[in-house]
Amino acid sequence: MRASNWNCGNDRLRPFREAESGMTGIPETVDAFHRGRFHLIQPLGQGHRSGMDAMLVASLVSCRGACRVADLGAGAGAAGMAVASRIEEAEVLLVERSPVMADFARRSLALPENAHLADRVSVLEADVSLSGKARAAAGLPDDTFDHVIMNPPFNDAADRRTPDRLKAEAHAMSGDLFEAWIKTAGAIMKPGGQLSLIARPESIAGIIGACGRRFGGLEITPLLPRAGENAVRILVSAIKQSRKRLALRAPLVMHGEGHRFSPEVDDLNNGRAAYHRR
Amino acid sequence: MRASNWNCGNDRLRPFREAESGMTGIPETVDAFHRGRFHLIQPLGQGHRSGMDAMLVASLVSCRGACRVADLGAGAGAAGMAVASRIEEAEVLLVERSPVMADFARRSLALPENAHLADRVSVLEADVSLSGKARAAAGLPDDTFDHVIMNPPFNDAADRRTPDRLKAEAHAMSGDLFEAWIKTAGAIMKPGGQLSLIARPESIAGIIGACGRRFGGLEITPLLPRAGENAVRILVSAIKQSRKRLALRAPLVMHGEGHRFSPEVDDLNNGRAAYHRR
């Protein structure tokens, strides 16, 4: 997971498989998600490793019938593949700037365990912060997607002390980048389309600001590790061109008594349920 | 109360006394707060009437020993008087632009029921949005207060359809006014002083933006009418010149089963407890 205080994810689980090295020469693991319904090849010891955050942002997507979904800054593809895993009609584009991470995503899709998803998920190597004609030329045309999801790099500049270049890239989300990513999301989705993201609580004002007049009907849900504790994440969804007011929803509480996830959160984490808008 | 969907306050209670008319010629009530420990003369049928919001913002103040508190946009003085009622060492300045509302505050302080507060609470007729020398000349010098509280007018311009001028004034809080009020709060409080306010959830980004670099350590608590429901208010506190990160706290839930307040909220509403920072 991305933050040290966020220990609810898959990091503590033993990887499904561990390899000496992949084609990239980087040590890697193969991790099971959705209780084994899909698998992800991820770099080990460097780069960003996915877990709970990606599963939760994927849970924000719900659609009836066919829908097109873009996962911006997809990394190895965890969130986008989680959407494809839960929603059989979803067609998912994983957008990732890093050739190394995009390669992990492509190789994940080539795993036999993911054969049931592979023809509905594709990888686009492109910089999410492109705009205008350059963005369309890179493969991200306007008004195309029903859903755009993002699990954007969390750490602000003050946190950037990692010597790991791959991880540093994934963590280097500044205020301007937020603005650029949400602008791209607004451009490439259809009117009425839904933006979904997960972020740290301290990003809340920047996210609302970046949504600006592009989006309305923001729904923000705090995620608490346990009842009574401060939020460690916020889940945000918003509708393109909606004029509906922001709603601050009741929190999701990850754990009840003991270490187990609450049943609701376990369902979201394992692709058994969507977290529906109100 | 200020919003129609917020029915937890004192509005539903029968007023302690009701008068045909006051010195201002406006029908009025005398309402009991903190289970009768102080009373407030308020206009009836027009102007802003105080209740739960004022009591909750007052609950954010805690101090050991003597402290100076400014209540910006105090109206009839509910929040500031609630602080003085709970904290015996607190010296409170009620700052209100409207001569009519300031008169209600002065007359409230003259009530025999409030004799125990009257020498620690005073009224300043001044416009909170003044700045620089004009603000100091109006009686609001820099670096003076340990706490600044505000229960700012909630409704945005789109809501302003009331024909009631007094109420319209209290409700006419635009984005710029937020900025101006929080700037004043930052100027008149001591370094390390605390700003406390209550607002609607949709104001969250504007408040964080207005706090900017003036304040840090923002703590934001959603208020839910019942468990699982959306927030109807946020409580916000912030420390002048702190660099601490924003915290999104677990919500306060107003009601358990039935109509009664939860014990925690009842204590805050009745001045038996402070809502402490973490």
Residue in chain A nearest B232 by alpha carbon: A248
pLDDT band at B3 (very low <50, low <70, confident <90, very high): very low
DSSP bridge partners of A220:
A236, A248
pLDDT tops 60 at residue A8: no
Q: Within 10 A of B157 (CB to CB), how many other CB atoms are there?
A: 10
Q: Give the gyration radius of chain B's Cα atoms.
A: 17
Q: Which of B234, B246, B250 sits opposite A202 (nearest CB)?
A: B246
DSSP bridge partners of B18:
B29
- What's the token pair of residue A77? 């593809």
pLDDT band at B164 (very low <50, low <70, confident <90, very high): low
- Per the model's pLDDT, the better-predicted residue between B13 and A136 turns out to be A136
Q: Which of B30, B145, B85 is nearest to B270 (CA)?
A: B85
Nearest-angstrom CA–CA distance, B94 and B242:
26
Nearest-angstrom CA–CA distance, A152 and A144:
21
| ipTM of the complex as predicted | 0.86
Q: Are B26 and B100 in contact (CB under 8 A)?
A: yes
- Residue A17 pLDDT: 66
- Residue A11 pLDDT: 41
- What's the token pair of residue B141? 């010098």
Nearest-angstrom CA–CA distance, A157 and B174:
32
Residue in this structure with the two tokens 């350590």, named with its chain if needed: B217
pLDDT band at B258 (very low <50, low <70, confident <90, very high): confident
Residue in this structure with the two tokens 């603000």, named with its chain if needed: B135
pLDDT tops 90 at residue A7: no
pLDDT band at B16 (very low <50, low <70, confident <90, very high): low
**Nearest CA distance, A73 vs chain B (angstrom):** 25
What Cα–Cα distance (Å) separates residue A43 from each residue in A15, A24, A48, A104? 12, 9, 8, 8
pLDDT band at B18 (very low <50, low <70, confident <90, very high): low
- Residue B170 pLDDT: 47
Nearest-angstrom CA–CA distance, B278 and B273:
15
Which residue out of A155, A198, A230 would a mutagenesis test of the B interface target, given it has the greatest number of B Cβ atoms within 10 Å?
Answer: A230
pLDDT band at B13 (very low <50, low <70, confident <90, very high): very low
Reported CATH class of domain A10-269: alpha beta
**Nearest CA distance, A206 vs chain B (angstrom):** 8
CB contacts < 8 A, A to B, total 63
Q: Is B99 exposed, middle or buried (0-12, 13-18, 19+ CB in 10 A)?
A: exposed
pLDDT tops 90 at residue A259: no
- Residue B152 pLDDT: 82
pLDDT digits (tens, 9 = 90+) for A149-180: 999 876 544 444 455 655 555 444 455 778 99
Mean pLDDT within A94-107: 96
**What is the average pLDDT score of chain B?**
87
Put simply, the answer to whether A246 touches B202 (Cβ < 8 Å) is yes
- Residue B256 pLDDT: 86
Nearest-angstrom CA–CA distance, B154 and B95:
18
pLDDT tops 50 at residue B9: no
- Beta strand pairing status for B233-240 and B145-150? unpaired
**Percent share of chain B, pLDDT over 90:** 74
**What residues have CB less than 8 Å from B147, skipping those under 6 apart?**
B61, B63, B67, B68, B69, B70, B83, B189, B193, B194, B195, B196
- What's the token pair of residue B57? 């913002």
Helix and strand numbers (H, E) in chain A are 9, 12
